[in-house]
Every structure is written in structure tokens, then in C-alpha cells.
Chains A and B, each alone.
Chain A
Amino acid sequence: MNLHVDINKRHAERKEFSPESLAKVNELMLDVPEGKHKSAVLRVLHMAQDELGGWLSIETMDYVAELLNIQPIEVYEVATFYTMFHLDQTGKYVLEVCRTGPCMLVGSDKIIEYIENKLNIQVGQTTEDGMFTLKTVECMGACGYGPMLQCQYKNHEFLTPEKVDELIEGYRSGTFEK
């Protein structure tokens, strides 16, 4: 298993926060004792991912490093550790289906297969129209409500093929828009 990654695909045009978000970043940095503002990095990365294109390009991470006045490598180290951060370009909606034990016991495998067939992609891939990326994730803390998936921090629980049809239609038509 070769773990080589093509880093060239991880560049993108530099984007910056809105003034409101910049104010929020400053507020977050002041929420902790002086000199400890690196603490804000996870939250700012979430904000960056949500606002600046749905994934964390190298340029976005460098921007976050500038804002927090830390070295870029400190941001790369963090962003590559936590699985919620997407380091490659994603579709507009990332469907993250839980695959861990309790969800598997109630049929998550079948839901994953159903979505793969429905969207005609494999786990890890993005639909041709750029609408959906399918990912599997480990336990989301919704074990009693499985099978489940999360999309843009919204949980969809007790999934059935019918519900999957509904939610994919919902995202396509904009009904589930944040």
C-alpha cells in the first residue's frame, strides 16, 4: 500500500474570510489567555472549511496560519490529524456515512452500497456533476439511531433506501440547504 499523495491537487486559489468571520476569529483568539491563541486553530479550520470552499486547500491553511500567527506546518500537522477536515476538493455536499459496529449491526453496509449504486460512485469519490462526495466515517455518536449519515453537520438518522432517496433529492433541490 503506497501512501504517496499528489500534493499538486491540493492547491487552490486563495480565498479570505468575510469581515464578520474575521471579527469572529479575533474574538476566538481573545477567548483564551494571552499567547494561547493557537487554541483557536481547530475552530478556525472548521470555519475556513465551511466558508472557503468546503475543503482545506494549502492556500487556505496558509491563510489560517497567518491569521493565528503560527507556522504553516503547525496547521498542516493539525489538519491532517483530524478526519473532519477534507484535504482534497470535495463535492458540494459530503455524505459521511457511519460504518462502525453499532451502525453496521443495523445495516450501514447496505446503506453505503445503496448510495454507491444510486450515485454511481464508490466511497471516496465525487459525482460527475460535483454535487456529492461519499465518505465513510467512524462512530458519530448516533449509535441508537443508525444507520445514519452526516452532511454539513446535520444528522440523518434511521436511514432506509427510501430516506436516502428523499435526502439526496432534498440536497439536489436545495430543500436541505443550511
Chain B
Amino acid sequence: MTGRKVLLENVNIPGIETFEVYQKNGGYRAVDKALKSMSPDEIVEEVKKSGLRGRGGAGFPTGMKWSFLAKPEGVPRYLVCNADESEPGTFKDRYLMEKIPHLLVEGMIVSSYALGANLSFIYIRGEFMWILDILEKAIAEAYDKGYLGKNIKGSGYNLDLRVMPGGGAYICGEETALLESLEGKRGNPRIKPPFPAVKGLWGCPTVVNNVESIAAVVPIVNDGGDAYAQIGLGKSTGTKLISACGNLARPGVYEIEMGISVEEFIYGDDYCRGIANGKKLKACVPGGSSVPILPHYLVTKTATGEDRLMTYESLSDGGFVSGSMLGSGGFIVFDEDQCIVRNTWNFARFYAHESCGQCSPCREGTGWMEKVLHRLENGNGNLRDIDLLAEINKKIEGNTICPLGDAAAWPVAAAIRHFREEFEWHVTHREESQTRNFGLISQPVTA
């Protein structure tokens, strides 16, 4: 069975953004159940059993992350929800928060209880200021109904929940940069160790989770971790919100059951309904701008000819040679008229713009790549530049304080790996490359 939904099944019910309608449709059952009949450790156990993996992009098992939280006596612990959704191609958390804000609030209450936090935060990117208002309204309703504040529903458990805005910085999606920002500082990622689970917000043990991960705790508590693990395929349990964009006939946010095929997702009637304007598929970045780009012949099939599925495992099949990653679920599709060099430059410019500037490989390397790619794109490059890019890339990757360096390096490396022909054509056909696109790359003959 595919196509099950656990997060967005009620999203189209009119008024679902209000407490009343949300509760009438089964909302806040998880809080009632957790506070009445479950210990915090039991919830952590259920989350572990569910196989839920962090939905922000890294895919780290949520239950395991929770179990790392240090619990020294007399020190407060914090849960922080990462709603700084900024990875190009990703707009799923925004959709969830806008449409069904109480799902996040409910998830925050249950998760905070599980972690023993009495003050929790939702850090939302500043550009989503109107969603901050939506969330604050939902939170006020929850206070009003006794689901937040002192002695929630007579359980003796206290929780305050606050929403804090960012100010325009992609890097604040990195959890330690987010914590710095939450403390009112520049979003410079911290040097690790120590990790947030030991020393996080204001030096106290802290868990940072993505919006979708926190929301997924609600069905896990309601139906049990085992039931959640039954959804999906293999180790990719549950559902995933995919935000589809680029040249698709029907872009948007879809909750998919993990395990559907990429083919079905792109071309199926329930999903994106194919490439816009009847064009051909040229390439796809399946998990947000930082993951490797796949040329058309590796999108729906793996290098070994198997169907590519929407799972962590299948999307990364072939490693970085012929695979990519599920990442944050930002699914970007390119039609035959798109220029890979231009897009690679565009992404490189994004990462150079968003580098915090703290460590030298990222500060200098991302800017350097951007400038070289800009030359190539504008017909001022030479063949040496392509190798230079690959070289700069290798010196950034793995050598930076935080993953932004890798995020900047991977798309360039993958674009050159799969589309070298197109890069070279920009050098050998300087003028032509300014007026028309290279088109589809030919499929390499495999043995």
C-alpha cells in the first residue's frame, strides 16, 4: 500500500488552522495520551522504534539524537524547532506551518515533554514573518485551552513555547548557528565538540529538530512507533514532505509515502504530472540545492538499471558517482532548455552569499568558485577553469567548520562530473553559449 498520509491528511479541512477544528479532527490526542499515560522515556522509545530520521536534510535518526541529550541535575534542557527553512528548493515546512500550525505546536508539546524541556523555541526564518504570526496565534490558543503554560491538563508538566525570528541567513539552518542566532548573535556555527546535546542554547543541553520531524512525533505517539515504521519502505520509514519545483507541470508540496518511484512522483497524476509545457526532463536535484544533480538518465533509474525510488537509500544509490540524496526533500526539476552551467553558477553564488565568513576554506573558496563559474557562464572561461573548479572543490569539502562548505562543493562537483561536456562547450562555443542552450547531454554508454 502506498500513498498513506500522516501529516497532511487533514490539511484541506476548512478552519484547520484553528484550535477548535484541529482538535475536532483528532488534534491534541497525542498530548492527552502522552501526558496521561506515557513517561518521557517511553516516548523516546516509540520515536526510536518508528525509525524516524531527521527531516531537515541530514537524515540522522531522531530517537537516537534524543537519547544523546545530557541530563545533568538542576540544569534546564531546551528543545528548539528549526523552522529556518532556506535550502533552495525546499518549502515544505512553510506549507505545514501555514496550513496546519497546531500540528507543529502539538509536536512541540509532546517532544518537549519527552525531553524534559520546560521552555522551548521555534526559530523561524525572518522572511516568514507572517507565519510567525500564524504560529503565535496558534500558541495563544493552546495556552488558552490549557495545552501550554503551567500544569498542562492537570499533569503537573509546565511548558512555555516561544517563536523567535531570524533575520535573513541560510546558515542559521545549521543547528549551532541557529543557537547563536537565538542567543542574539551573528549566525556563526560553533566549533564542535561540544555538541548541542551537551552544550547548546545558553550552554545547556539542547535538541534541535526540523519542523517536519517534530510534527511526525504526533502520529508516532498516537499510533505507536511500530505502526509508523510500517509505513514507508525498509529503513526509510514513514512519509516525507517533498517540495517539488522547477519546470514541473504541477509544482507544490506533496506528502509521499516513502518508497514510491521517482517516475511516479514526476509523471504521476497524483503528483507533479510531468514536465511543464510538454518538454523533456534534463536533470533533477532531488533533495535541495546542496545535493548532487542527476542527469536525466539517472533520475528514474539507478546506474544498474533499477527503478529509482523516493527513499533515503535509493536516491543515494551509486554514491556520489551516480546517485544523490533525499536531503530536505527539495525536488528541483530542469527541463531541456535549462543551462547547467548557469544553474551551477547560480547555486555557487547562493552559497558564497550565505557563507558566514568564519572559516577560510568556505569564506574564500565559495567566493572563488562563484567568480570562476561566472566567467565560464558568460563565455569568458577556459578549459583550465573546469579543472580548477574541481580542485577548489576538493579543498573546501570536509575542511570547513560546518556543512555549508560541503553543501557548496557538492553541486559544483556533481555538475562537472555529469555535465562536463556542457561546461566545455561554454568554452569552445563562447558566443553560441550566450544565445542558446546546450540541450540534453548524451547518455554515456555503460558496459
| Interface mask (A61-82 → B, CB under 8 Å = 1, otherwise 0) | 0000000101000100111011
Tally of contact residues, A, Cβ under 8 A: 43
A154–B128 Cα distance when bound, in Å, is 9
Selected from A33, A41, A100, the residue in CB contact (under 8 A) with B350 is A100
Selected from B166, B170, B343, B356, the residue in CB contact (under 8 A) with A139 is B170
Cβ distance A134 to chain B, nearest Cβ, rounded Å: 17
Does A31 lie within 8 Å of B126, measured CB to CB?
A: no
The 3 closest A-B pairs by CB, nearest first: A82-B167, A84-B168, A38-B184
Cβ distance A105 to chain B, nearest Cβ, rounded Å: 5
Does A102 lie within 8 Å of B332, measured CB to CB?
A: yes
Most buried by A among B165, B168, B170, B181: B168
Chain A residues contacting B127 (CB-CB under 8 Å) are: 84, 140-141, 150, 153
A79–B181 Cα distance when bound, in Å, is 11
Q: Across the interface, name the chain A residue whose C-beta is closest to B248.
A: A144
B186 interfacial contact with A, CB 8 Å: yes
A32–B78 Cα distance when bound, in Å, is 12
Does B183 lie within 8 Å of A138, measured CB to CB?
A: no
Q: Across the interface, name the chain A residue whose C-beta is closest to B344.
A: A101
Cβ distance A77 to chain B, nearest Cβ, rounded Å: 5
Binding site for A on B (CB under 8 A): 76, 85-91, 94, 119, 125-130, 162, 164-170, 181-187, 202, 243-247, 251-253, 289, 330, 332, 334, 338, 342-343, 346-347, 350, 353-354, 356
Binding site for B on A (CB under 8 A): 31-33, 36, 38-43, 45-46, 68, 70, 74, 77-79, 81-85, 99-102, 104-106, 137-146, 150, 153-154
Selected from A39, A82, A142, A153, the residue in CB contact (under 8 A) with B182 is A39
What number of residue pairs across chains A and B have CB atoms under 8 A from each other? 144
Cβ distance A138 to chain B, nearest Cβ, rounded Å: 5
Does B130 lie within 8 Å of A141, measured CB to CB?
A: no
A46–B330 Cα distance when bound, in Å, is 28
Does B346 lie within 8 Å of A38, measured CB to CB?
A: no
Cβ distance B200 to chain A, nearest Cβ, rounded Å: 13
Q: Mostly helix, strand, loop or mixed at chain B's interface?
A: mixed
Cβ distance B367 to chain A, nearest Cβ, rounded Å: 10
Contact A101 to B88, CB < 8 A, known contacts A146-B245, A153-B130: yes
Cβ distance B270 to chain A, nearest Cβ, rounded Å: 16
Chain A residues contacting B94 (CB-CB under 8 Å) are: 141-142
Does B350 lie within 8 Å of A101, measured CB to CB?
A: yes
Does A144 lie within 8 Å of B182, measured CB to CB?
A: no
Selected from A78, A84, A85, A99, the residue in CB contact (under 8 A) with B185 is A78
Residue contacts A-B, CB under 8 angstroms, 29 given:
A31-B162, A32-B162, A33-B76, A33-B202, A38-B185, A39-B164, A42-B164, A46-B129, A74-B184, A81-B187, A81-B356, A82-B166, A82-B168, A82-B169, A83-B168, A99-B346, A100-B350, A101-B346, A105-B245, A105-B334, A139-B86, A139-B350, A141-B90, A142-B94, A143-B88, A143-B89, A143-B90, A144-B91, A144-B253
Selected from A99, A102, A153, the residue in CB contact (under 8 A) with B245 is A102
A52–B413 Cα distance when bound, in Å, is 45
Cβ distance A21 to chain B, nearest Cβ, rounded Å: 15
Cβ distance A49 to chain B, nearest Cβ, rounded Å: 10
A70–B183 Cα distance when bound, in Å, is 13
Q: Across the interface, name the chain A residue whose C-beta is closest to B333.
A: A105
Contact A141 to B164, CB < 8 A, known contacts A101-B346, A102-B332: no
Cβ distance A148 to chain B, nearest Cβ, rounded Å: 10
Does A144 lie within 8 Å of B245, measured CB to CB?
A: yes
Chain B residues contacting A40 (CB-CB under 8 Å) are: 184
Chain A residues contacting B130 (CB-CB under 8 Å) are: 153-154
Most buried by A among B76, B88, B128, B247: B88
A18–B280 Cα distance when bound, in Å, is 57
Chain A residues contacting B181 (CB-CB under 8 Å) are: 42
Cβ distance B115 to chain A, nearest Cβ, rounded Å: 17
Chain B residues contacting A140 (CB-CB under 8 Å) are: 127
Does B119 lie within 8 Å of A38, measured CB to CB?
A: no
A145–B126 Cα distance when bound, in Å, is 19
Cβ distance A174 to chain B, nearest Cβ, rounded Å: 20
Contact A81 to B343, CB < 8 A, known contacts A39-B182, A105-B246: no
Q: Across the interface, name the chain B residue whose C-beta is closest to A153.
A: B129
Cβ distance B439 to chain A, nearest Cβ, rounded Å: 16
Chain B residues contacting A70 (CB-CB under 8 Å) are: 184
Does A138 lie within 8 Å of B334, measured CB to CB?
A: no
Does B332 lie within 8 Å of A38, measured CB to CB?
A: no
Does B332 lie within 8 Å of A81, measured CB to CB?
A: no
Cβ distance A125 to chain B, nearest Cβ, rounded Å: 19
Q: Across the interface, name the chain B residue whose C-beta is closest to A104.
A: B346
